[in-house]
Amino acid sequence: MPAGAAQTRGEAASTLGSGQLTHTLGRPDFDLITNWIAPGDRVLDLGCGDGTLLRHLIDTRGVHGWGVEIDDENVLAAIRNGINIIQGNLERPLDEFADQAFDHVVLSRTLQTVRHTEGILREMLRVGREAVVSFPNFAYWKNLRSVLDGRMPVSEDLPYQWYDSPNVRFFTLLDFEDLCDRMGLAIRERNVLDEEGNLVEHEVNFLGSLAVYRLTLKR
């Protein structure tokens, strides 16, 4: 799809075909994100943890990368990984970065922990040409089964117990896509994975455990 072209909610789909990803870093969403980034791109990773993704992108794509992370231990680990990092709170504006300073702004498995959801999405597309977001899908059938059994779900993509979870939002693919439409965000691509990292192409809101989106502003 040409840059800037948008897909509607019904058209957004995987461009990789069926099958299983390589899981180079133990995270299938990282494999998808890597495939979307061109050599030499400028990448900002929000909630970057120990910098694993950025280190991989620097080594394999030669990107110019920065990370933002709040946890002290992760910040130190990212520095040891050779990552340019700023310690910061994602609930606040990204004032350290100029408009359109990056080609891609990544938020992987972190959106569900942020209270100001619209604010962070707007900031991502202020400082970046494209936003890349991955999150667990609460409508995944195993999650629904857990709720019907009277328990909050615990899975590969929702690994915490209810009492120690950093998650403050529980939402589905359809919820997220409705929000994107309301905010004027275009879904360039969407890939949905099951717990084993297999690409899901049918009944994705029911069979998909993890979703990865590429977003731009609608033109």
The pLDDT of residue 17 is above 60: no
Quick check: is 18 in a domain? Answer: no
H/E stretch holding 45: strand 42-46
- What total of structural domains would you count in the chain? 1
Query: What average pLDDT is seen over the chain?
Result: 87
Quick check: is 22 in a domain? Answer: no
CA–CA dist 167, 162 (Å, integer): 9
pLDDT in tens, 68-118: 999 999 999 999 999 999 999 999 999 999 999 999 999 999 999 899 999
pLDDT in tens, 122-178: 999 999 999 999 999 998 888 888 888 888 778 776 777 778 777 678 899 999 999
User: Residue 15: which pLDDT band, with cuts at 50, 70 and 90?
Assistant: very low
Residue whose token pair is 């942020």:
114
pLDDT at residue 170 in the model: 85
pTM equals: 0.85
pLDDT at residue 43 in the model: 98
The pLDDT of residue 18 is above 60: no
User: Residue 23: which pLDDT band, with cuts at 50, 70 and 90?
Assistant: low
Quick check: is 112 in a domain? Answer: yes
Task: Please give the torsion angle defined by the CA atoms of residues 25, 66, 137 and 7, in that order, rounded to the nearest 10 degrees.
Answer: -110
Quick check: is 122 in a domain? Answer: yes
The pLDDT of residue 5 is above 80: no
CB-based contacts of 168, cutoff 8 Å, min separation 6:
112, 113, 114, 115
The pLDDT of residue 6 is above 50: no
Half-sphere exposure of 193 (CA within 13 A, CB side): 25
The pLDDT of residue 3 is above 60: no
Range of the domain at 182: 28-217
The pLDDT of residue 40 is above 70: yes
| CATH of residue 178 | 3.40.50.150
Quick check: is 2 in a domain? Answer: no
